[in-house]
Amino acid sequence: MAKKLIATGYGDPSDVLEVTDVDIPKPGKGEVVVEVRAAGLNPYDVKLVRGFLGAKPENLPLSPGAEAAGVVHAAGPGSEFKAGDEVVVYPASATLAEYVVSGEDRVHRKPAGLGFAEAASLLLAGVTAVDTLATLGVTGDDVVLVHGGAGAVGSIVVTEALAAGATVIATAAPRNHDHLRAQGAIPVPYGDGLTDAVREARGDQRITAVIDTVGTDEAIDVSLELVAPHRIVSIAAWGRVDDGIVVIDGSSEQSRHHRSAAVEPLLTDAASGRITVEIARRFGFTDAGAAFDELLGAHPRGKFVFEPR
Ligand SMILES: NC(=O)c1ccc[n+]([C@@H]2O[C@H](COP(=O)([O-])OP(=O)(O)OC[C@H]3O[C@@H](n4cnc5c(N)ncnc54)[C@H](OP(=O)(O)O)[C@@H]3O)[C@@H](O)[C@H]2O)c1
């Protein structure tokens, strides 16, 4: 038997998360069973459990966790993987568990130089970040405003926009400003006076693109004062689609293509250190509720990672 984290209802994670015993899955043809060493926690998981993405009773119990890294336990007949291979599983589901079963097409070899925790926390945020930049076609000529530049997605947006040669102005809490400055971005605090702060930061330059990872009305209203709606890409402002901004979630053909093409380069770049994955907090089965509770509020920079052992 093996342990798995489930949510028996929708609501406060501390109330609804439970550890259950399940059989160790067996791989069918085209499948791989992975012993999970680490699984990245994402805001998506918390929104799922809280019922923010819908609360249909027929979908219970929920099995959160959308990415993982670990070691192949068993592979289906004819697989290119074998027991002992170190891999990353993404996109995935039910990864907050000791074992996860996945279609082989979602299993990627983990570079040796990349830790399990970092590998498990890279891809969901990473492919999203790459998709935002590719959707806008950001180049070295751009002056990009990034809302949430110190978040998981925002950090990779900032890294990649700077690597493309763009000028980057990024909003963040003041405690993250030194970090953004060290990367080469110009930090500005969000909150009252944001438009003026961005205008001061950009100097004589014009903002040419906005990437919003936050989704607040403030972020979108300020952005619309600075650029045309079609130059604003958001991953969170679903309520503002009618303003003409571009909101993406990986469901369009273009986004799917951007995201799948980004997986291998992200793994290589994280292994080489060109992209950094910071780990803020490690948690296991017993303290998962607290980690879920913390992630949607103000939290330290870096990823929250589940380690089953
Ligand atoms: N559509 C998609 O495909 C997709 C994919 C991935 C994620 N998402 C969504 O994108 C959002 C970000 O995900 P993430 O993993 O990057 O989360 P995260 O690591 O928790 O980052 C969130 C960031 O938001 C900033 N923030 C918090 N309150 C703010 C405010 N009032 N104004 C401006 N910034 C604020 C925080 O900055 P400070 O820490 O500096 O305060 C933090 O850096 C989540 O809503 C997630 O569900 C969507």
Taking the CA of residue 42 as reference, the ligand 1 atom at the shortest distance is 15
Q: With a 6 A CB cut-off, is 6 part of the ligand 1 pocket?
A: no
Alpha carbon nearest to ligand 1 atom 26, residue: 148
Alpha carbon of 104 to ligand 1 centroid (Å): 30
Give the DSSP H/E element, type plus range, for residue 71.
Answer: strand 68-75
Q: Which two tokens stand for residue 157?
A: 């947006």
Taking the C-alpha atoms of residue 253 and residue 237, their distance in angstroms, rounded to an integer, is 20
Closest atom of ligand 1 to CA, residue 153: 16
Residue type for position 54: G
Q: Say if CB 129 and CB 149 are below 8 A apart.
A: no
Return d(Cα 219, Cα 118) in angstroms, integer.
Answer: 29
172 lines ligand 1 (CB under 6 A): yes
Atom 43, ligand 1: which residue's CA is nearest? Answer: 151
Measured in Å, residue 160 CA sits from the centre of ligand 1 at: 17
Q: One digit per residue, pLDDT tens: the chain, 309 residues?
A: 999 999 999 999 999 999 999 999 999 999 999 999 999 999 999 999 999 999 999 999 999 999 999 999 999 999 999 999 999 999 999 999 999 999 999 999 999 999 999 999 999 999 999 999 999 999 999 999 999 999 999 999 999 999 999 999 999 999 999 999 999 999 999 999 999 999 999 999 999 999 999 999 999 999 999 999 999 999 999 999 999 999 999 999 999 999 999 999 999 999 999 999 999 999 999 999 999 999 999 999 999 999 999
- The answer, yes or no, to whether any atom of ligand 1 lies below 6 A from the CB of 173, is yes
Asked whether the CA dihedral 187, 192, 198, 200 is positive or negative, the reply is negative
CA distance 144 to 121: 25
Structural domains of the chain ordered from first start? 2-122+277-306 (3.90.180.10), 128-251 (3.40.50.720)
